[in-house]
Structure 1
């Protein structure tokens, strides 16, 4: 691995390419040790720029020939670039021949081998590891690709677009020729050559055209592809119905591969997926797996238009495709969930992810705007800010213009920019122009600060009721923390959804501002666009409780300073399910923070009764109950604490509260376990999944309580459920209950689980992850989880070379298990540093993601803080370190 020396790339320095590549004719003679790549391009100079050299990007290529218009060319190689001078004035052809060694490509970027087949991953800059090219997203070309390979070893040959020819060759070889009629950047190129089988389905679009859908997997996995195919069909139907965006190729293919750095990749017509997001059966996949497959399949399919047909001008615009497409897949998942409560559960899950990962990022050394201003390694900016916060920015646009207005804006966006590489500004302008007079159109320049300002805005809300005047005054104020390169934060445009509930019975109150002729219903969206604003509601007959930021209408920190009585009213009566959950979380968080600051470590009767009321509620969705009854994570508590974080203390207090809830609601948990399970055979639908989630939570609480008291009945029942389960959701839920309670039966259950699923790689990933993420026991057993992780790192089934397996052990420990990772003896940090360095030697993308685990080291109390800094400095001092990892650790250490 080369020492990291990449220059800093700045958005303000963007220049259009000096040349355009119009067509690409690629041929591959595939061989694991030495693949021949012949790249014939039609190129023309950009007439708007001065004449200059043509510089093509390349990395780890063995160059054998360069021809211009059929004649040998004069060239040179400088800093991994193929440079040609004195080129023809008009269009010309350039042929570049080189060889590569896919079997040695352990970075899994470019063309590599996995399980005896060939696969590609070219986003963001992997194509330069295949052939010399203008490897940038604003160079879009029409591709024709011919693949040649051994017919027995690689019977399936796939490329982008439509299959135009195939046949046999001498020597037991065969070929396939693919043509993609739509111009695309090189990052969307893909090929697959492997021994695969496929599930196929023909569909007819609204226009009457027939399309072939295919899901390719290894032999033996075909029975696990039904859900992925159903998800793909649903995605095609939804996108055409919701946005009028049809499938535009004769066929659409998904290919599953076990070695993959990402979740999936939207290559035009040939999506390559991590097996984790394709393979599912009731016996091997949990409800969460089924939901994730549906979401990721939809995400990659939706990229066909938002990312492929219209793509990014440069990598600073990454959220143009990713934020927009995350929003689209979230909307799809909500629509698939059906009823309002299930839609709200999906929204809650998305916000939990945002707070768990994006909020700490916004407050840490890697903080950056949704549209970054600079980067050193672009792979490091596939972040929660670009994806999840980017989706929230799109959601705010949709809120400001309405559902129909947003659809109109999408239509205008494609009318203007189909086949182009554009910017976030182009998208925002299209949504605004399609909705003249809207709040977005009127405040567009200010709204776009969401793209340029890092950090999470802090919104303070204070309300006052005047009974005599029958008015309620709501004062909103926003502030923001300065960031490097951004000393002064300007106000953001914040859509602020809200309502008012009567404090006596929780009924919804009509909303009428002082300057309005009549009420506007019981729900509305205010727009906070200044540092401070005041809203006066009139004709308020009863003292209200404000329901603020409903549906989480903007990604902000909200300080409403609501008393427990108000939060209890919201928890019991709010028509907005998100805010019911939010009220429950705030009640729990208030108690955790108070205990950490020296207050009571005992849960009060009012809180316990409120939780009992949620659990026993006759109409609340089971999934919503499970979410409300789950305490805020230790990471969220640490972020709220803000400084001098002692992970062990947070863990001890949270575990203490969890045990108290288990004990105080014991009879209620028994009732939930015995009465709330879904009836009938397994189905991954939202309602049944929610019921299983609640039953699993009840079982975990009963086993926790029993283990603490020395009772063996519930651990025994959990073990029996583990053995008899008819689905992975039930089996893994029971196993989780035993492991997380450190019950004696956990060890034999883990052993039995491994034996049952030894040949199921994705299930064994769960086995590793469960043990790495288990809560550290308190008292004399402390440290057991970390020691178990060190032991598992030597397990015969563990390897760092497979990204899924590496992540399954390392990420649950370092990202999700603070008490096990942050140790007073610094052993966790030493383990982290060793693994970052080891992985960086062959897979920088994976290493840099692992390196992010210590982003928030400055929040830690001593002795953790100094030990964490020392570990980061040790990694940064390495002479040989990739650009990806060096950027992360260097920024982490900067003051």
Structure 2
């Protein structure tokens, strides 16, 4: 692995040359596509005498400076040109083969359409260039192609010219007036269905909106364009930000490594986050489309107009924009349920990343392959850090900080420090200690002890914080933690609500005039991404479930309550004792189900027991078989005890047409399957009568716990109905991947030869292989190691086809430290097999070598 050289944040140096303008001309001719790049180069460092450009997998046809051929040196991944000039025009002509580009980076083909993906370092596969985010240029792009096959020729910015050419060819020209780094460049050429609309900005400008989708899918684009209009209006009202071009385009493609990409004015989307109608998309799909459309639109300012200086600053744009899209979803929908979904990502996935071999701060210190740092830490923990800032400053000061940030840095490539400085200067709040969240890795553990002095009506909390050592950071410092709490009386009344600043390793907080011992609701709304340790009793948790002012706190109390019950039964199994569930736990759940005032979607969240992955993150080590048995037992006990209430609720909600009602109805149906096989009839009836995909899929998910003749029959019907619709078949693949039946893996091996599956399409791989490894942990960690072999074989295939996808689905295999020695040995053996590949990609090498401690 001679190429696997780490890069370090500390080694950053400013560019010695920059490029102010770039004229690109594409002649799209399949395997012999030609690109002419004319760059206006300016020398920034007077001592620089060699211009070194990034480039990969291209054929050079010519290199000229100011119209004259020049000598150059072509390396494996760069092009070097000696020069003494301060300013000059550099023209490079390259030839590409988009059809052979299976990595889906640079310029490639997606179902017959030309498409680009340049973030993080894909532009260097299109032409030789200073492919770094702190080189911002103004782009003019001309595209030429066959008119019949490629009637739409799209790029960034505004359209300025188009016309016909000889030989049934045509061209289009685009100009983007805003300087941008190369990673934001986009080109799409193809034949699509087009849905158009218009948005009138607050300054009364008309912006043309266009959504391009594959032929025949026009009816599935309406939700995406409606979500775009909502996003534009929300950003104006909440953040005072207006769109800046005359046109905004979204193109949906099926072959795409990511969810979507915020290229200036031309967003390229995975079809998963564009196409939706009620027959083929679930309520969750509709929500996901709205959130991702919002996310990419919000990047127009937080990522495009102000971008990151280097890739170590990725959270500058991603953490901030995830926070913004979370707020968008919360303002438009249920704030509590949206917050719960965000918390689950942190507790189920990010905490695991923090405790694994790929642990890193939200601003990493080093990297081998940049694609490996598009992580839940950078994105989702990054968003939690922004949320903490919002909590500390409040909405008004936070918005003042945002405005100062844009005033200072519009059109610039900046750092996380620049963002925090704007927040500090606008608010007057000292954020020096807070900045440690950007540079310190790992999940802090916050331990709380309480003491109540009845005589003096004084309640005392002692709060201690520690962050475990990690491979790259031994010495951890105390962080600034905004700690939201509420104290409840015995009657459920709020005695005190406050956000306190925890800044020391150990800190005492005293609350006076507390007339009775309260029940504390701690770290409300998950006010910081930490693990909370507090010795809650069953009575206290039940009290919080009933009376906490925060709906999120009620849900958190339910998670803690049922988790305690599951772990108690793990201990019972290990001691060969009978399992049982405390009646108070059952009563608490029954009370939630019977409550007439609780949001139905919140009730559904409370009745969705913690996943196996979430439970694993609650323990230092895990006996997986006992954990799976105990979790199933507790679920069955709660379902059986609440059978009558579940049936009543299910029947009440059967005809209610809204997402919250469907969420609870399908949760009830899922739990009823644990009570008796007779409820399979309910699931079959729902599937047959379903008027939407949410209910169809809900029925199948309810039956997915084990094999049955009903499940087999309905899965076959689903396949027959949707076999020509890849996105809908992805759901079918995932159902197979997450089935609890012991023959699950045998089925998956066979499905890799199914016509609906392909290793060349990331959506298919994620739906089958990725869903199995990350979402079916009991089967994946089968004691014989067959799950590890299945994932390893898939990764070896993907190493050649698409190493970026391979590196993303390997995560469950590298997180082996919490399992027993036998499973650890098998997982390490799988990693050794991958490490031994003669052509191992940098993407995989980085993760495997760190996991093995190399």
Question: Is 1:861 equivalent to 2:824 in the alignment?
Answer: no
In structure 1, what is the equivalent of residue 543 of structure 2? 569
Question: Is 1:697 equivalent to 2:667 in the alignment?
Answer: yes
Q: 3-state DSSP class of the match of 1:745?
A: helix
RMSD between superposed Cα atoms in Å: 1.1
Shift of 1:7: 1.1
In structure 2, what is the equivalent of residue 29 of structure 1? 27
Q: How many angstroms apart in 1 are the aligned matches of 2:757 and 2:628?
A: 28
Q: How many angstroms apart in 1 are the aligned matches of 2:655 and 2:676?
A: 25
Q: How many angstroms apart in 1 are the aligned matches of 2:35 and 2:372?
A: 29
In structure 1, what is the equivalent of residue 192 of structure 2? 196
Question: Is 1:596 equivalent to 2:555 in the alignment?
Answer: no
Residue by residue over 1:16-48, the C-alpha shift from the partner in whole angstroms, topping out at 9 and shown as x without a partner, is 11101000000000022110000000000013x
In structure 2, what is the equivalent of residue 524 of structure 1? 498
Aligned 8 A contact 2:567 2:627 in 1: no
Q: 3-state DSSP class of the match of 1:447?
A: coil
Q: How many angstroms apart in 2 are the aligned matches of 1:346 and 1:587?
A: 21
In structure 2, what is the equivalent of residue 454 of structure 1? 441
Residue by residue over 1:651-693, the C-alpha shift from the partner in whole angstroms, topping out at 9 and shown as x without a partner, is 122112212222111101101101134635xxxxxxx212101
In structure 1, what is the equivalent of residue 350 of structure 2? 358
- Which of these residues, 66, 74, 77, is aligned with residue 77 of structure 1? 74
User: Which aligned pairs between 1:75-154 and structure 2 lie closer than 5 A?
Assistant: 75-88=72-85, 90-154=86-150
Question: Is 1:662 equivalent to 2:642 in the alignment?
Answer: no
Q: 3-state DSSP class of the match of 1:825?
A: coil
Question: Is 1:767 equivalent to 2:732 in the alignment?
Answer: yes
User: Which aligned pairs between 1:664-679 and structure 2 lie closer than 5 A?
Assistant: 664-677=641-654, 679=656
Question: Is 1:307 equivalent to 2:303 in the alignment?
Answer: yes
Shift of 1:744: 2.3
Q: How many angstroms apart in 1 are the aligned matches of 2:90 and 2:375?
A: 36
- The farther-off stretch of 383-392 and 792-801 is 792-801
User: Which aligned pairs between 1:309-348 and structure 2 lie closer than 5 A?
Assistant: 309-337=305-333, 342-348=334-340
In structure 1, what is the equivalent of residue 476 of structure 2? 489
Aligned 8 A contact 1:264 1:296 in 2: yes
Residue by residue over 1:732-771, the C-alpha shift from the partner in whole angstroms, topping out at 9 and shown as x without a partner, is 1011112225332000100000111111111100000011
In structure 1, what is the equivalent of residue 722 of structure 2? 757
Shift of 1:353: 1.1
Q: How many angstroms apart in 1 are the aligned matches of 2:832 and 2:773?
A: 17
Q: How many angstroms apart in 1 are the aligned matches of 2:569 and 2:681?
A: 34
Q: How many angstroms apart in 2 are the aligned matches of 1:87 and 1:739?
A: 68
Q: How many angstroms apart in 2 are the aligned matches of 1:551 and 1:45?
A: 51
Q: 3-state DSSP class of the match of 1:597?
A: helix
Residue by residue over 1:126-160, the C-alpha shift from the partner in whole angstroms, topping out at 9 and shown as x without a partner, is 00000000000000000000000000000000000
- Which of these residues, 574, 590, 595, is aligned with residue 617 of structure 1? 595
Question: Is 1:378 equivalent to 2:336 in the alignment?
Answer: no
**Which 5+ residue runs of structure 1 have no aligned equivalent?**
512-522, 681-687, 777-782
Question: Is 1:534 equivalent to 2:508 in the alignment?
Answer: yes
Question: Is 1:735 equivalent to 2:700 in the alignment?
Answer: yes
TM-score between the two structures when normalised by the length of structure 1: 0.94
Question: Is 1:463 equivalent to 2:458 in the alignment?
Answer: no
Residue by residue over 1:633-654, the C-alpha shift from the partner in whole angstroms, topping out at 9 and shown as x without a partner, is 11111121221x2323221221
Specify whether residues 4 and 632 from structure 1 end up closer, same or farther in structure 2 by C-alpha distance, changes over 3 A only: farther
User: Which aligned pairs between 1:389-468 and structure 2 lie closer than 5 A?
Assistant: 389-436=381-428, 441-442=429-430, 444-468=431-455
- Which of these residues, 522, 525, 529, is aligned with residue 555 of structure 1? 529
In structure 2, what is the equivalent of residue 475 of structure 1? 462
Q: How many angstroms apart in 1 are the aligned matches of 2:660 and 2:654?
A: 9
Shift of 1:111: 0.3
- The farther-off stretch of 224-233 and 740-749 is 740-749
Q: 3-state DSSP class of the match of 2:832?
A: helix
Q: How many angstroms apart in 2 are the aligned matches of 1:72 and 1:301?
A: 42
Question: Is 1:717 equivalent to 2:717 in the alignment?
Answer: no
Aligned 8 A contact 1:848 1:888 in 2: yes
Residue by residue over 1:358-407, the C-alpha shift from the partner in whole angstroms, topping out at 9 and shown as x without a partner, is 00000000000000000000000000000000000000011111011111
Shift of 1:4: 6.4
Q: 3-state DSSP class of the match of 2:351?
A: helix
In structure 1, what is the equivalent of residue 557 of structure 2? 583
User: Which aligned pairs between 1:731-880 and structure 2 lie closer than 5 A?
Assistant: 731-776=696-741, 783-880=742-839
Aligned 8 A contact 1:255 1:270 in 2: yes
Aligned 8 A contact 2:705 2:739 in 1: yes
Question: Is 1:505 equivalent to 2:491 in the alignment?
Answer: yes
Q: How many angstroms apart in 2 are the aligned matches of 1:765 and 1:24?
A: 40
**Which 5+ residue runs of structure 2 have no aligned equivalent?**
none
Residue by residue over 1:791-812, the C-alpha shift from the partner in whole angstroms, topping out at 9 and shown as x without a partner, is 2122222111111011100111
Aligned 8 A contact 2:388 2:527 in 1: yes
Q: 3-state DSSP class of the match of 2:427?
A: coil
Aligned 8 A contact 2:158 2:175 in 1: yes
Q: 3-state DSSP class of the match of 1:216?
A: strand
Q: 3-state DSSP class of the match of 1:485?
A: coil
Q: How many angstroms apart in 1 are the aligned matches of 2:666 and 2:759?
A: 31
User: Which aligned pairs between 1:270-289 and structure 2 lie closer than 5 A?
Assistant: 270-289=266-285
- The farther-off stretch of 589-598 and 147-156 is 589-598
Q: How many angstroms apart in 1 are the aligned matches of 2:565 and 2:825?
A: 29
Q: How many angstroms apart in 2 are the aligned matches of 1:694 and 1:97?
A: 59
TM-score between the two structures when normalised by the length of structure 2: 0.98
Shift of 1:448: 0.6
Specify whether residues 31 and 648 from structure 1 end up closer, same or farther in structure 2 by C-alpha distance, changes over 3 A only: farther
Aligned 8 A contact 1:66 1:96 in 2: yes
Q: How many angstroms apart in 2 are the aligned matches of 1:606 and 1:267?
A: 53
Question: Is 1:388 equivalent to 2:380 in the alignment?
Answer: yes
Q: How many angstroms apart in 2 are the aligned matches of 1:481 and 1:171?
A: 67
- Which of these residues, 193, 217, 222, is aligned with residue 218 of structure 2? 222
Q: 3-state DSSP class of the match of 2:635?
A: helix
Q: 3-state DSSP class of the match of 1:641?
A: coil
Q: How many angstroms apart in 2 are the aligned matches of 1:203 and 1:789?
A: 46
Q: 3-state DSSP class of the match of 1:823?
A: coil
In structure 1, what is the equivalent of residue 245 of structure 2? 249
Aligned 8 A contact 2:704 2:738 in 1: no
Q: How many angstroms apart in 2 are the aligned matches of 1:86 and 1:768?
A: 56
Residue by residue over 1:55-109, the C-alpha shift from the partner in whole angstroms, topping out at 9 and shown as x without a partner, is 0010000001000011111111123211000241x31100000100000000000
Q: How many angstroms apart in 1 are the aligned matches of 2:824 and 2:473?
A: 26
Q: How many angstroms apart in 2 are the aligned matches of 1:335 and 1:846?
A: 33
Shift of 1:417: 0.1
Q: 3-state DSSP class of the match of 2:172?
A: strand
Aligned 8 A contact 2:22 2:38 in 1: yes
Aligned 8 A contact 2:347 2:617 in 1: no
Q: 3-state DSSP class of the match of 2:345?
A: helix
- The farther-off stretch of 49-58 and 492-501 is 49-58
Shift of 1:703: 2.4
In structure 2, what is the equivalent of residue 683 of structure 1? none
Specify whether residues 794 and 836 from structure 1 end up closer, same or farther in structure 2 by C-alpha distance, changes over 3 A only: same
Aligned 8 A contact 1:704 1:737 in 2: no
Q: How many angstroms apart in 1 are the aligned matches of 2:130 and 2:352?
A: 36
Shift of 1:330: 0.2
